[in-house]
Structure 1
Amino acid sequence: MQRKAYATALAALLVAFVGGCSAGSGDDGSAPDTKAGEVSAAAAPGKYRTLYEPCGAVERSTLRDLLPGAAQLPEEQQEKVYKGAAAVTYDTDRRVGCSWKADAPDASHQLRIDVERVVSYDPAVSDDSKAQEVYAGKREAAQLPSLADPRDEQVQGTRSPSGGPSTPPPSAGAGAGADSGKGAGASSTASASGAVAPVVTPSGAAGTPEGLEPRELDGLADAAFLDDALTRAGSTAQHRTVSVVFRTSNVIVTVEYVEQPALTTVIPDSKELQEKAQALARNLAERFND
């Protein structure tokens, strides 16, 4: 009887010893990364779980200011313009958008809003971190100067707004013509006859007045930047597109405002378009705090 009890106790001791070694070390004898039964915590979800309806997010007074041509239309058509056209999306909790357009005898205007709620499918990456990554990609696509290099501020005046090849400084004899081009709101070059014509860079962007170049915006949500491009398609009039992109937590909003004058000789005013686009962006950002 004593012999049987001794064998049973020895067997139990061996099982406990083997189990302890398995729980206390890995295959190579090293300690495991986590304790037995411990579950790693997933990254925190984003602050926002839903999105507001963008077509109703812009006040009528703002639309009247941004789309002056609508005021000249019959009332029924005005209502159609101000209502906007919702973007087609498959999940309105993930992405929504709206666009408006109005034509006038002197110019046509387009407004577009895109709102994206970023979700990370990596349990180790939070929605906010993923949104920062997506925002950084948009900023890089806009080719703004790098924030890490202080020399960018010194070359801002010779860099194209899209970040393309820099424009060589004018010679002493052409100084007057170059200055008049800046005053017109676009980069310029003097021809043999002395006429000044807008210069469009290979990327499709033209220069903007000093101080209005594509740049970071302070005090708008968690991060924001502005892009400005003047382009011409074939023989049509030049149109200017001002974009304001901002991130608030795990949501990224893009406001795009376009003006195309009826006359090919007219250049849309950067300052006015930028001020209106920024004002709308700030209003939309405030809605996330409501």
Structure 2
Amino acid sequence: MQRKAYVTGIAALLAALLAGCTSGSTGGDDISDKNADTGTSTVAAQPGKYRTLPEACGAVSHDTLDSLLPGIAQINDEEQREKAYAGEATLTYDTDRKVGCHWKIASNDATDRLSVDFERVVSYDNAVSDDNEAQTIYTQRETAADIPESAPPSPAETQSPSESAANSPSPNASTSASESASSSASSTASASASSTATPPGLQPRTLSDLGDEAYLDDQLSGSGSTAEQRTVTVVFRTSNVVVTIVYEEQPMATGTVPDSKEMQDRAQNLAGQLAEALNG
């Protein structure tokens, strides 16, 4: 009878040990699951503000087209005039990503061309936002256009009249210095008179009051036997949309140079309207 009692006791002990192992195994699985839940998660970059684009040919008002393309007002046929206002849409396969429109109007004095393009930038990298991708594209275009950094004003521009008089050479200055200065001034005046470059203050530059970032380029081409053609380009970015405006004018008369300030003012006025429409 004592031997039977001993065997029964061992069996009970083994059963208790097995129950303890099973309970420990379940607890281990719970800990493993908790550790897996504490892993770091990747946060996707923010999408851009714009999900669609405006209809490009309808984005420019008739009044603005009258200003940029004076030849429209000279079209007598009403149907042809309306067709001129409508412009021609740029071929695109995804109007949510890129749209554009261009106009070409000839007048008695010149041929004017205008193109407007909208590009909505979408980043396919979860670590890069749409805005940052658009900023990269804008920067590439500004760099390719070789837009210079803003230069500080010259001392002569910042001096008051009294300071300028105080710094002027005295009447007793040497004749050679006077002749040298006169020769230098004559050379500068001659070079300025013969140059057809963009006037001072209107050179290619960045713009601080348009969108998130913007630049203006002004180029003059053609000379001699051909009429001078001026091309003014304004590019600006607002959030994840990059807008490009190209405004060209070629006079009919040889030797006539399109007015830089007038064309720049018109192009910047249009850019301001488009930026306001996007933000509205």
**TM class, shorter-length:** 0.7 to 0.9
Q: 1:51 maps to which residue?
A: 53
Runs of 4+ in 1 over 3 A off after TM superposition: 7-24, 152-155, 233-236
Q: Which amino acid aligns with 2:82?
A: E
**Counterpart Cα distance in 1 of 2:98 and 2:109:** 34
Q: Which amino acid aligns with 1:40?
A: T
Q: Which amino acid aligns with 1:261?
A: P
Q: 1:268 maps to which residue?
A: 258
Match of 1:174 among 187, 199, 207: 187
Q: 2:8 maps to which residue?
A: none
Match of 1:218 among 203, 208, 213: 208
**Counterpart Cα distance in 2 of 1:2 and 1:269:** 105
- 1:3 and 2:14 equivalent? yes
Q: Which amino acid aligns with 1:126?
A: S
Q: 1:82 maps to which residue?
A: 85
Structure 1 residues 41, 134: CA separation in 2 closer, same or farther (over 3 Å shift)?
same
Deviation track 1:23-50 (CA, whole Å, cap 9, x = no partner) reads: 86xxxxxxx9x933x5322111111111
3-state SS of the aligned residue for 1:70? helix
Match of 2:144 among 141, 149, 152: 141
State the superposition RMSD in angstroms.
Answer: 2.7
Q: Which amino acid aligns with 1:102?
A: I
Q: Which structure carries more relative contact order (alpha carbon 8 Å, separation 6+)?
A: 2
Identity %: 49
Structure 2 contact 224–255 (Cα < 8 Å) conserved: no
**Counterpart Cα distance in 1 of 2:255 and 2:237:** 36
Deviation, structure 1 residue 18? 8.7
Q: 1:282 maps to which residue?
A: 272
Structure 2 contact 48–131 (Cα < 8 Å) conserved: yes
Structure 2 gaps, min length 5:
1-11, 155-182
Deviation track 1:178-211 (CA, whole Å, cap 9, x = no partner) reads: 2324xxxxxx2xxxxxxxxx4xxxxxxxx21000
Q: Higher helix proportion, which one?
A: 2
Match of 1:253 among 243, 251, 257: 243
TM-score by length of 1: 0.74
Deviation, structure 1 residue 67? 0.9
Deviation, structure 1 residue 14? 6.3
**Counterpart Cα distance in 2 of 1:229 and 1:280:** 19
Q: 2:110 maps to which residue?
A: 107
**Counterpart Cα distance in 2 of 1:90 and 1:238:** 36
Deviation track 1:226-247 (CA, whole Å, cap 9, x = no partner) reads: 1111112995322111011111
Structure 1 residues 22, 272: CA separation in 2 closer, same or farther (over 3 Å shift)?
same
TM-score by length of 2: 0.76
3-state SS of the aligned residue for 2:142? helix
Q: 1:124 maps to which residue?
A: 127
Structure 2 contact 205–215 (Cα < 8 Å) conserved: yes
Bigger Rg, structure 1 or 2: 2
Structure 1 residues 138, 3: CA separation in 2 closer, same or farther (over 3 Å shift)?
same
Q: 1:208 maps to which residue?
A: 198
**Counterpart Cα distance in 1 of 2:215 and 2:189:** 32
Structure 2 contact 210–275 (Cα < 8 Å) conserved: yes
Q: Which amino acid aligns with 1:250?
A: N
Deviation track 1:81-126 (CA, whole Å, cap 9, x = no partner) reads: 1110011111111111000110123210000000011111111111
Q: Which amino acid aligns with 1:3?
A: L
Q: Which amino acid aligns with 1:127?
A: D
Deviation, structure 1 residue 212? 0.3
